[in-house]
Structure 1
Amino acid sequence: MVFVGAAVLIAAVTGAVYNATQHVPDFYTEALYVEPTTAHETGEVLEEQVFAFSNQVKKPRPWSLSLTDKQINSWLAVDLKEKFPELLPEHIQDPRIAVKGKALLVGCKYNGQSLNSILAVSLDCFLVEGEPNVVGIQLHNVTAGALPIPIGQLISEIDTYATKANIPIRWQQRDGDPVALITIPSTGKEIEGEIRIDALEFKDGEILLSGETIKSEEELKVEAADADQASPVSSPPPEPPAES
């Protein structure tokens, strides 16, 4: 009887764990559905916005970018598969996001050897005070279905793909959670100055980024020198006629 009871208990626990891993977060259910008739068009609009933004930051001027989670999910549903079919590993499918208040929620289908579930993570994204162009991404509430999972494995995955993409990441702690610190380059090819990010804001359904591309000190010195050389040399005033 003891063995029978133990077997029943193990089966019950196993069933409960499996059911918990099959739970689908509400935000993911909502984000997963993309209107097929408009998804491609919405993705194209997003690409046009990003292309225009990439041109904006090349010139010295203020700039801004506003994207919605619906636009991003349309692009993920259609364009990601078509244009970057090998970007995601085989065991990751259907990534989606949602912006709820100031939190960025990210979810995907995970089909592994020992686990088939919906992985989800809640992120807080912010500009790091005192470090120009450094974005902090705080990870918390990592789950497989309804079960919390160790965050160390996710950090290892992030480091692996960041290394492949040549994106340097530093890690810190904030309120007991790991924070990835990513430095956005301030200069680059065809950029006439230095990029300065002033604001990164998340609010329901929307991501806002703003800043300015400013001329570097060297460019300002060159412009000042050119202006001095171009300015006409003033002639001395004529001498008054001599008195007779």
Structure 2
Amino acid sequence: MSKNLKRKLTNIGLLAAIAFVVCSALGLALKQRPAFYEAAYIPDGEIRNQQSKECQRKASDLWSMFGSGDPVWGDKFTNANINSYLQEDFETVGGEKNLPDGFSEPRISFEEGSLRLGCRYGKGFWSTIISINLKVWMVANEVNTIGIEIVSLKSGSIGISPRFLLDQISELARKWNADLVWYRRNGNPVAVVKLQASQMRPTFHIQQLQIKNNELVLYGHSAANGSRVAQLP
């Protein structure tokens, strides 16, 4: 065997080894499961069942208060409430049929000022966890106006373009008949969403939308209460 042929074979072998290492590293990165997603798993059992039922009761009561025009409406939802519902009873209302194609097993985490969402994308060995980190706040001195900053969007531990998420938020805003303005802050896309923007007199006022550690807090009052500031718990 000539020296040139040996050198070529050696180079091919090195390139193959490098490609294998790179592909393996990429595969491991795509398969990595975010810590919050792992922590959001709740084992099957009575506790999960109870938390799911509590979540459904809170949501039903909130919708009833909101729909009937109660002067003050609102409640608090914990990580355990929502994740238990997603893992216990989400299937009863269609489950992954309510998610974009290919997505399943949604989980959430409320952290101080931030909302983390995670979903499995794909099936079996080739699946990965798509995770989103959002900052959410009420815009000061504006009625029913919410700021949503997309801090990160990842597949496993690999960052991906937020273009898909921007399209999803824009579509939701259209469905809700809300005004939507995009801008950038620290390089991150930020959506400013104003609910009932086309109405001279909104039918409701959101007074508190706050994400704390392990908790979402939502309170408001109906238009029947005029501009009075309701007393929140």
Task: Give me the TM-score of the superposition, normalised by structure 2.
Answer: 0.79
Q: CA deviation at 1:19?
A: 0.6
Greater mean deviation of Cα atoms: 174-183 or 198-207: 174-183
Which structure 2 residue ranges, 5 or more long, are not aligned? 1-9, 227-233
Q: 1:177 to 1:168 in 2, by over 3 A?
A: farther
Matches within 5 A, 1:1-150: 1-57=10-66, 58-59=68-69, 61-85=71-95, 86-111=97-122, 116-150=127-161
Q: CA deviation at 1:53?
A: 1.7
Q: CA deviation at 1:197?
A: 1.0
Write the deviation string for residues 204-235 of structure 1: whole angstroms up to 9, x where unpaired.
11000122223377xxxxxxxxxxxxxxxxxx
Quick check: 2:71–2:225 contact (8 Å CA) kept in 1?
A: no
Q: Which amino acid aligns with 1:150?
A: S
Q: CA deviation at 1:35?
A: 3.7
Which runs of 4 or more aligned residues in structure 1 lie more than 4 Å from their structure 2 counterparts after TM superposition?
112-115, 157-160
Q: Does 1:197 align with 2:186?
A: no
Which structure 1 residue ranges, 5 or more long, are not aligned? 218-244
Q: Which amino acid aligns with 1:20?
A: A
2:216 to 199, 207, 227: 207
Q: 1:4 to 1:23 in 2, by over 3 A?
A: same
Quick check: 2:177–2:196 contact (8 Å CA) kept in 1?
A: no
Q: Which amino acid aligns with 2:74?
A: S
Paired positions, count:
211
Q: 1:168 to 1:14 in 2, by over 3 A?
A: farther
SS of residue paired to 2:75: strand
Q: Which amino acid aligns with 1:122?
A: N
Which protein shows a greater Rg? Answer: 1
Write the deviation string for residues 31-50 of structure 1: whole angstroms up to 9, x where unpaired.
02344323333222222212
Q: 1:24 to 1:211 in 2, by over 3 A?
A: same
Greater mean deviation of Cα atoms: 80-89 or 93-102: 80-89
Q: Which amino acid aligns with 2:115?
A: L
Q: 1:60 to 1:168 in 2, by over 3 A?
A: closer
Quick check: 1:34–1:77 contact (8 Å CA) kept in 2?
A: no
Counterparts of 1:195 and 1:173, CA distance in 2 = 29
Q: 1:35 to 1:185 in 2, by over 3 A?
A: farther
Counterparts of 2:114 and 2:215, CA distance in 1 = 11
State the match for 1:240 in structure 2.
none
SS of residue paired to 2:154: strand
Q: 1:114 to 1:150 in 2, by over 3 A?
A: farther
Greater mean deviation of Cα atoms: 22-31 or 149-158: 149-158
Q: Does 1:175 align with 2:186?
A: yes
Calculate the aligned-residue CA RMSD, in Å.
2.8
Q: CA deviation at 1:180?
A: 2.7
SS of residue paired to 1:56: helix
Q: CA deviation at 1:159?
A: 4.2
